[in-house]
Amino acid sequence: MTNRERVIESLEHRQPDKTPYCIGFTEKMHAQMAAYYGDPGFEATLGNALTVLNTTAPGAWQEVEADLWEDEFGVRWNRSVDKDIGIVCNRVVNSGNIDGATFPDPHDPRRYDAYPDSIAGAPGQFVVANLGFSLFERAWTLFGMEELLISMATEPERVHRLLDRILENNLARIEHACAHRIDAMMFGDDWGSQRGLIMGPQLWREFLQPRVTAMYQAVRRHGKYVFIHSCGKVDELFPDLIAAGLHCFNPFQPEVIDVFEAKSRYGRELSFYGGISTQRTLPYGSVSEVRDEVRRLLDEVGRDGGFIASPSHAIPPDAKPENVAAMIDVLQNQ
């Protein structure tokens, strides 16, 4: 089977010849693994099943000062410590300019110009178009986390207007991306902390659920699969996400979600992508513990499909290289 066939079999809850997998790295961890293997191009040999395309235009991120990056919405990110994402350090939108703030053009053809060549250059791969910071995250990066959460309670009409503007931009990107031969769209939107939903279930259902449903259904109308990346303990939303049209949930953090219980309870309707602990096992476990954890996930969560094996996030730099190598070895040699 090709990687694409394996992923589709899994998403359709059928048993592939082996469980598909996808491994990502933070910059620092990538450098550590390149040194460990003595090969800066090691990632090309991993066998990852997913090829991920962006919905941002080339040059959308600009370094305006040393370690200070600006995204296409004008949000500035301090990357002096976190080189992969950074910390938001400005405010683009306030209560007075929600309607007038300038958003990037979702119809800019440069966003999608590389899709045909990228897809043609990845034969046998499952191709995903990524729309990160898709709703809640985009709103708080523009408006401020505290301001957004307070305004949900005190000025709900302003939050609805902001989210509607973001939704309109997203729906246009979905239409353009899905016009290409992609297999799925991945939405990034962290809703959870280690203990539960940041905004709570009531506000999630009021502000986010209708717009999440609109985005997922737009993808499904094109016959594509729907993925969501949402960190934290958000499993109480699984029934809502299934109803909205979700096919696959990521990152599936075993520290906050019982991955075996989730598979047992929701595995006929929802697929999972993740499951390998980046907070416990990869940094603190032994090589044998890593091997045992990965094998159990493949045997139990991967049974009858419905699983893409992966670390629960891009691997952080505190992971032990020998543990990462052990995980890779088990995944490659199923």
Domain ranges of the chain: 3-332
C-alpha 328/C-alpha 289 separation (Å) is 14
- Model confidence over 56-112: pLDDT tens digits? 999 999 999 999 999 999 999 999 998 899 999 999 999 899 999 999 999 999 999
User: Which amino acid does the sequence have at 140?
Assistant: W
This prediction has a pTM of: 0.96
Quote the pLDDT of residue 95. 87
Average pLDDT of the chain to the nearest whole number: 97
Per the DSSP assignment, residues forming a β-bridge with 276 are: 311
Short-list 235, 331, 323, 243, CA closest to 285 = 323
Residue 244 has a CB neighbour count (10 Å cut-off) of 21
Query: What proportion of the chain, given as a percentage, has pLDDT over 70?
Result: 100
The DSSP letter of residue 75 is: -
HSE, side-chain direction, 13 A CA sphere, residue 276? 33
Pairing of strands 184-188, 248-250: unpaired
Per the DSSP assignment, residues forming a β-bridge with 315 are: 25
CATH topology of domain 3-332: TIM Barrel (3.20.20)
Buried b (16+ CB within 10 A) or exposed e, 148-164: bbebbeeeeebbbebbe
